[in-house]
Amino acid sequence: MAAASIDGQFRELLERHRGIVFKVANSYARGAQDREDLAQEIAVQLWRAFPKYDGTRAFSTWMYRVALNVAISHLRERSRYDSHHEPLDMTVHDGADTNADVETDARLRELNRCIARLEPLDRALLILYLDERSQRDIAEILGISETNVATKIGRLKQRLRNDMSEK
């Protein structure tokens, strides 16, 4: 396949599924600049890995796997240099309702803080679950069994319920 057509195919797929990059970057990066840097790094790593993409599989599943691996590596790298904890800036970029109820906003902020405190794998699992990915897709993306996905989701939901009820 010619380089120009590979480039075009990649650009089209990336544009079609760019929301995945932003969801992952928003969940694993702190401020706006960090989110931009992480989104750019995800795009670069997707481009580098694209020649190995198996076109018989869902692009979005493959994209999530690459994006989450980059984000988790990014988070680990950042934590090596950060000596203090700052909560993640979970600003939503998907056009949040500006007339949202204050109580709902507060609950969403608290939920985001609870999610930010999760271990990277648990955070990835929850992002995929909230994105309504199937247990099969989640298992494939994260490289764990479907049974493990179901068990972990159940535990995470209970943990979040407990954390949220303490507030």
Domain ranges of the chain: 3-165
**Mind listing the pLDDT tens digit for each residue in 40-74?**
999 999 999 999 999 898 999 999 999 999 998 88
Amino acid 65: pLDDT:
93
Q: Does 98 score more than 90 pLDDT? A: no
Residue found under tokens 């247990």: 135
> What proportions of the chain, in percent to the nearest 5, are helix, strand and coil?
75, 0, 25
Q: Are 112 and 122 in contact (CB under 8 A)?
A: no
Judge whether 30 and 89 are in contact, CB under 8 Å: yes
Residue 151 predicted with pLDDT over 50: yes
2's enclosing H/E stretch is: none
Q: Given pLDDT bands bounded at 50, 70 and 90, which one contains residue 93?
A: very low
Please provide the distance, in angstroms rounded to a whole number, between the alpha carbons at the two ends of the chain. 56
pTM above 0.85, yes or no: no
Round the average pLDDT of the chain to a whole number and report it. 83
Give me the pLDDT at residue 27, please.
87
Find out whether 78 and 50 touch, Cβ atoms under 8 Å.
no
